[in-house]
Amino acid sequence: NAGVTQTPKFRILKIGQSMTLQCTQDMNHNYMYWYRQDPGMGLKLIYYSVGAGITDKGEVPNGYNVSRSTTEDFPLRLELAAPSQTSVYFCASSPRLAGLVYEQYFGPGTRLTVT
Amino acid sequence: AQTVTQSQPEMSVQEAETVTLSCTYDTSENNYYLFWYKQPPSRQMILVIRQEAYKQQNATENRFSVNFQKAAKSFSLKISDSQLGDTAMYFCAFMKQGGWGKLQFGAGTQVVVTP
C-alpha cells in the first residue's frame, strides 16, 4: 500500500493563478481531510469528506474548493491564489470502524508558495 | 468549539533523559479522543499515542506515555530515554466523538534531543 499520496511536493504560484492539489489514498478509507500548516503553527482543517459525493467546510475554507467523486481521490482547488495561502498542505484519510472514527493517516504534504 | 493549548514552544533534553510536554484543552464534550503526533524535519505526521476519554488508564507506547487528567482537561506526553530520533515537533490534537473525525491541533512543541 502506498497510503496517502500527494502531488506536487512543491509549487510556486503567482498571485491570481489557480491550481489543484492532488490527494489519493489506497486504503479504502471513507473519511478524507485537507489541512494547512502555517509556519510555527498547528494544522488547521480546510475541508473534509465522509464519502464520495459528500464534502463539508472546516475551520478555514475561504479561497478553496474540493470535490470527492471517488473514494480514493480528494483534490483541493485553489482559485485566485493569494500570499495568505502560502502554507504546507496536508491530506489525510481515516477509516470508519464500528461507527467510530480512528486515527488519521497523513500524506507527505505539499509546500505552496504564492508570490 | 474546542481549543487546544501547548504552552511550551520548545524543549531541550539530553539523550537518555526524560522530557514531559504539556497540553491542555477546552471542551464541553464528554466523549472524545486525544492524540499526540510527531512531525520530524521530513514533515511527515506520525501518530505517537492515542487516548480515549472514557478510559481512566493512561496510554503507553514503548518509551512514550501520557498523563490524562480529564477533570483538569490536561493531556501531557512523557518521552523516556530520549533518543536523537525523537527530535521533532510534537502536536497535541483533540477529536470529539461523532465529529466526523475532525482534528483540532495545538500549536506544537519543538523537542530537541542533544547528545
In a domain, A70, yes or no: yes
In a domain, B97, yes or no: yes
In a domain, A31, yes or no: yes
Best of B21, B42, B43 to disrupt the A interface (most A CBs within 10 Å) is B43
A residues 26..65 contacting B (CB < 8 A): 31, 33, 35, 40-45, 48, 50, 56, 58
CATH number at residue B55: 2.60.40.10
In a domain, B115, yes or no: no
Query: Tens of pLDDT along A51-70?
Result: 999 999 999 999 999 999 99
What whole-number percentage of chain A has pLDDT above 90?
Answer: 85
Residues in B lying within 8 Å of A, measured between beta carbons: 4, 6, 35, 42-45, 47, 50, 91, 93, 95, 97, 99-108
Of A43, A50, A90, Cβ closest to residue B100: A50
Could you give the angle at the alpha carbon of B33 between the alpha carbons of B30 and B39, nearest 5°?
A: 150
**Span of A7-21, B9-23, B97-111 with lowest mean pLDDT:** B97-111
Q: Taking CB atoms and an 8 Å cut-off, how many pairs form between chains A and B?
A: 57
Per-residue pLDDT, averaged over B23-43, amounts to 94
pLDDT beyond 80 at A97: no
**Residue burial A19-45, b: 16+ Cβ < 10 Å; e: rest:** bebbbbbeeebbbbbbbbbeeeebbbb
Q: Domain residues for B20?
A: 3-110
The verdict on a CB contact (< 8 Å) between A48 and B101 is yes
Mean confidence (pLDDT) of chain B: 94
Of B92, B47, B99, the C-alpha closest to B68 is B92
pLDDT beyond 70 at A13: yes
How far A47 CA lies from chain B's nearest CA (Å)?
Answer: 10
CATH number at residue A54: 2.60.40.10
Cα distance between residue A4 and residue A92, in whole Å: 7
pLDDT beyond 70 at A100: no
Predicted pLDDT at A39: 86
Predicted pLDDT at B108: 96
Contacts of B50 in chain A (CB under 8 A): 102-103
Contacts of A43 in chain B (CB under 8 A): 45, 91, 103, 105
What whole-number percentage of chain B has pLDDT above 70?
Answer: 100
What is the number of structural domains in chain B? Answer: 1
Q: Is residue A10 within a helix (H) or strand (E), and if so which, with residue range?
A: strand A10-13
Mean confidence (pLDDT) of chain A: 93
In a domain, A82, yes or no: no
Measured from the Cβ of residue A61, the count of other Cβ atoms closer than 10 Å reads 16
Confidence bin at A103 (pLDDT 50/70/90): confident
pLDDT beyond 90 at A2: no
In a domain, B49, yes or no: yes
In a domain, A49, yes or no: yes
pLDDT beyond 80 at A1: no
What is the number of structural domains in chain A? Answer: 1
Cα distance between residue B91 and residue A62, in whole Å: 24
Confidence bin at B93 (pLDDT 50/70/90): very high
Q: Domain residues for A42?
A: 13-77+89-96
